Amino acid sequence: MMNWDAMGNGMGFGMGFGWLFGLLVLALVVLAIAALIKYLRK
């Protein structure tokens, strides 16, 4: 993980961006798992 504090944008921006990025990754993981299950069910 990058240290967003070093960028000087403050904790608010870092936390918000991290939350958004985490949500995006979570959605991609869920989609990947769903696709894998669908593929294995054939």
- In this predicted structure, what is the pLDDT of residue 6? 55
Q: Taking residues 2-31, what's their average pLDDT?
A: 72
Q: Taking residues 15-22, what's their average pLDDT?
A: 74
Higher-pLDDT residue of 7, 34: 34
Whether the per-residue pLDDT at 19 is higher than 60: the answer is yes
The 3-state DSSP composition of the chain as helix, strand, coil percent (nearest 5) reads: 85, 0, 15
Count of other CB atoms within 10 angstroms of residue 4: 16
Phi, psi at 14, each rounded to 5°: -60, -50
- pTM of whole model > 0.85? no
